[in-house]
Amino acid sequence: MSTSDVTREGIRGAHPGREALTGAVSTLDGHRREHPRGRRIRRGEPEFRSYYDKPVLNQIVWEPRDIAGYLFLGGLAGASSVLAAGADLTGRPGLARPLKYTALGAITGSVAALVNDLGRPARFVNMLRVLKWTSPMSVGSWILMAYGPLAGAAAVSQATGILPGLGRAAALGAGAVGPAVAAYTAPLICDTAVPAWHEGFREMPFVFVGSAAAAAGGMGMATAPVSQAGPARRAAVLGSALETAALWRMERRMGMVAEPYRTGRSGLLMRAAKALTVGGAVGALLGARSRRVSAVAGAALLAGSACTRFGVFHAGVASAADPKYTVVPQRRRLEERKAAEANESAQAAASSAAQEAEGSADS
Amino acid sequence: MTAGDRPRMGFFTDTSVCIGCKACEVACKEWNAVPEDGLNFTAMSFDNSGGLGADTWRHVAFIEQRASVGVQESGVGRPDGASAPVDLGMPAFEKPGDSAGADERGEFRWLMSSDVCKHCTHAACLDVCPTGALFRTEFGTVVVQEDICNGCGYCVPACPYGVIDKREDDGRVWKCTLCYDRLGDGLEPACAKACPTDSIQFGELDELRARADDRVRHLHEAGIESARLYGRDPDDGVGGDGAFFLLLDEPEVYGLPPDPVVTTRDLPSMWRHAGAAAAVLLAGITATFLGRRR
Ligand code: SF4
Ligand code: SF4
């Protein structure tokens, strides 16, 4: 019940707790947050203004499980096919067989995750209406269309022994398209306005293929006999190293926008990914002779690769949800541009003044 | 018909005259049969729609500021020869705080701005759509074809302005069409039609830009230095907006990005990096087969 009165002298008897100070607080969706200007500024945290602390971008509508899972499985499938093709060519059937099955299983799971996110299968078919270079999702759909049947034929021929020659050709074909399957998902997420994704577009493909190689290597280590798993171990070590280096470089280059990779749920996932990946790589190096160590290290590498994708996904979500990551870098860019322009015009003015001075000295 | 045959149409939203009546929000909902999405009290201002989304195609932002109200005086920067403000004969009363003195009263102003899809020259939503559901109309605007949209949600994080959004219950995306159906019939969009102050102006983009330049000049001459155009410049990161704004403060205060860039500008480089990464993967795994046979 209100007990306040509006009088000629202003409002009387208003409840003190109701006093609404301009810009003192902003709340939406139920949770209270301090207004940006009132929010505690950590050292080094840039100040910025925003509309009641609301995000500038709309929230990513993808389900984390579906889309991060899709990224992980696509990478696993693509790199597995490459390893399987190599194993085929060098006469390592014990390594080729499980990796061909992995490729088929992973790509099926990946497409299933995508269809689940879209809502119904017809919508995936709808993706093939057009081929657009400006849309990594369109390009990716076509890559999947080329890759899926090859991976499928390779696995089925392997399992049944039917048409071994064609099966082998399919395996090689899948190995050739595999890298594209593992790599295109980076432009897929980077071609958005999501700061933590877009800013990392140079390194993200290397993070993804590194993580894919680590996962496929881990799978090979876990499933192939130790005597044939050499290439898988080396792929795991190479992939882990590439992923770790690319991530390190990406975070350094992104500046403040890399924050979501270190904080919150995504930070946790990224740390877990690093521990699992590095641990798995060490296992691959040291436990080469032991079937058991290989299996554990392989599982760690697979889990690490999955954590990387979920970590990257959640970092994107966090960076889109906080206006800071949109506003601060853009504002900085604007200011730098303005400063450069001012500098240029000052220089132009100085040089024309110098010319004039020269001219008057001549005359 | 190609886009070149017709002049490009657009919006110029002059926020300096917006009174925050939300007529545009209502007119848009009515005309386009946009579902009701709950008039929730957001507890931050008179804003009860929060931002643009699948079911909010025009959104009026309300910003409370501790700043001089003088800059919002009606009639400031009126074109010469325009008639003086009309007294509507409303009952007069003392303004709150008048008797308390200027010190007590403090400074306060409202900024209001009706936001909408920018119908970007280089539209990220349109570029990334994998089905071609988004297309550019003969009026130079960007429209979703609802029967083709497949709900992949790619355009949502691609839009640098946070405009287009997925509707929960049907899984497809929706946004302002600049009233494509009305334009086809020679009508102006519903929001512009309903706007009582002409804060929302519809017309040929070139003409709107000239009009906007004029208006900013007037405001600057009247001493309102903070007036600026947003999205007008065809050289900006999105190639200029088909719907642009006159603002009285920095864009981020209105929830707009200060320097938006179409996400696909970096796409050629992204493909190059991805290609290099794919090659590295192929070469790297090939290398693991060389050497020792183990
Ligand atoms: S503002 Fe967003 S939704 Fe509108 S045309 Fe531009 S990119 Fe598309
Ligand atoms: S142009 Fe039409 S659809 Fe767009 S905001 Fe205005 S009324 Fe709504």
- The enclosing H or E element of A5 equals strand A5-7
What pLDDT does A222 receive? 95
Pocket test for ligand 1, best of B11, B142, B144, B264 (most atoms within 8 A of CB): B142
Does residue A109 register a pLDDT over 80? yes
What pLDDT does A38 receive? 40
* Range with the poorest average pLDDT among A124-128, A358-362, B199-203: A358-362
Give the highest mean pLDDT range of A123-132, B34-43, B69-78, B198-207: B198-207
pLDDT band at B83 (very low <50, low <70, confident <90, very high): low
Does residue B43 register a pLDDT over 90? no
Percent of chain B with pLDDT over 90: 71
Does residue A23 register a pLDDT over 50? no
Query: For residue B277, which residues of chain A lie inside 8 Å, CB to CB?
Result: 179, 183, 186, 205-206, 208-209
Mean of the pLDDT values across residues B104-108?
A: 66
Q: Which of B290, B255, B147 is nearest to A327 (CA)?
A: B255
Say what the pTM is: 0.86
Mean of the pLDDT values across residues A218-234?
A: 95
pLDDT band at A359 (very low <50, low <70, confident <90, very high): low
Q: Look up residue A92 and give its two tokens.
A: 């390592």
What pLDDT does A35 receive? 41
Between residues A354 and B278, the one the model is more confident about = B278
Cα separation, A27 vs A312, in Å, equals 28
Query: For residue A206, which residues of chain B lie inside 8 Å, CB to CB?
Result: 273, 277, 280
What pLDDT does A119 receive? 83
In order, the DSSP letters of B149-196 are ------HHHH-TTS--EE-TTT--EE----SHHHHHTTPPPHHHHH-T
B114-130 tens-digit pLDDT? 999 999 999 999 999 99
A47-57 tens-digit pLDDT? 889 999 999 99
Which residue CA neighbors atom 5 of ligand 2 most closely? B58
Any residues with CB less than 8 A from the CB of B109 and at least 6 apart, and which?
Answer: B64, B65, B67, B68, B69, B71, B72
Does residue A149 register a pLDDT over 90? yes
**A163 CB neighbour count, 10 Å cutoff:** 13
* Range with the poorest average pLDDT among A266-270, B68-72, B206-210, B258-262: B68-72
pLDDT band at A352 (very low <50, low <70, confident <90, very high): confident
Task: Note whether B252 contacts A208, CB cutoff 8 Å.
Answer: no
B155 lines ligand 2 (CB under 6 A): no
Between residues A168 and A358, the one the model is more confident about = A168
**C-alpha to C-alpha distances, B126 to A343, B87, B155, B209, B262, nearest whole angstrom:** 37, 48, 7, 24, 10
Mean of the pLDDT values across residues B178-201?
A: 96
CATH number (domain holding residue A118) = 1.20.1630.10
Domain count, chain A: 1
* Range with the poorest average pLDDT among A119-128, A164-173, A337-346, B270-279: A119-128
| Domain presence at residue A270 | yes
Mean of the pLDDT values across residues A211-229?
A: 96
Mean of the pLDDT values across residues A117-124?
A: 85
Does residue A17 register a pLDDT over 80? no
Does residue A7 register a pLDDT over 80? no
Cα separation, B1 vs B27, in Å, equals 30
Does residue A85 register a pLDDT over 70? yes
CB B59 within 8 A of CB B51: yes
Task: Note whether B161 contacts A56, CB cutoff 8 Å.
Answer: yes
Task: Note whether B128 contacts A330, CB cutoff 8 Å.
Answer: no
Does residue A27 register a pLDDT over 90? no
Task: Note whether A209 contacts B278, CB cutoff 8 Å.
Answer: yes
| Domain presence at residue A70 | yes
CA B210 to centroid of ligand 1, rounded, Å = 23
Task: Note whether A208 contacts B52, CB cutoff 8 Å.
Answer: no
Q: Which letter, b or e, does each residue of B221-257 get, where b requires 16 or more Cβ atoms within 10 Å of its Cβ? A: eeebeebbbbbbeeebbbebbbbbbbbbbbbbbbbbb
Mean of the pLDDT values across residues B287-293?
A: 79
What pLDDT does A129 receive? 86
B216-249 tens-digit pLDDT? 999 999 888 899 999 999 999 999 999 999 999 9
| Domain presence at residue A28 | no
Considering only alpha carbons, which residue of chain B is nearest residue A57? B162
CB B222 within 8 A of CB B213: no
| Domain presence at residue A197 | yes
| Domain presence at residue A346 | no
* Range with the poorest average pLDDT among A293-302, A306-315, B101-110: B101-110
| Domain presence at residue A331 | no
Residue A294: which domain range? 64-321
Does residue B153 register a pLDDT over 50? yes
pLDDT band at B4 (very low <50, low <70, confident <90, very high): low
| Domain presence at residue A350 | no
pLDDT band at A349 (very low <50, low <70, confident <90, very high): confident
What pLDDT does A28 receive? 35
| Domain presence at residue A38 | no
Between residues A46 and A333, the one the model is more confident about = A333
- Strand order of the sheet with strand B200-204? B200-204, B9-14, B243-247, B228-230
Strand A25-28 and strand A31-34: pairing?
Answer: antiparallel
Which residue CA neighbors atom 5 of ligand 1 most closely? B119
B176 lines ligand 1 (CB under 6 A): no
Could you give the residue ranges of the DSSP H alpha helices within A199-290? 204-223, 230-254, 264-286
**C-alpha to C-alpha distances, A167 to A105, A155, B282, nearest whole angstrom:** 16, 8, 20
pLDDT band at B105 (very low <50, low <70, confident <90, very high): low
Beta bridge partners of B62: B112
Mean of the pLDDT values across residues B20-42?
A: 89
ipTM of the complex in this document? 0.87
Does residue A21 register a pLDDT over 80? no
CB A178 within 8 A of CB A80: yes
CA distance A227 to chain B (A): 6
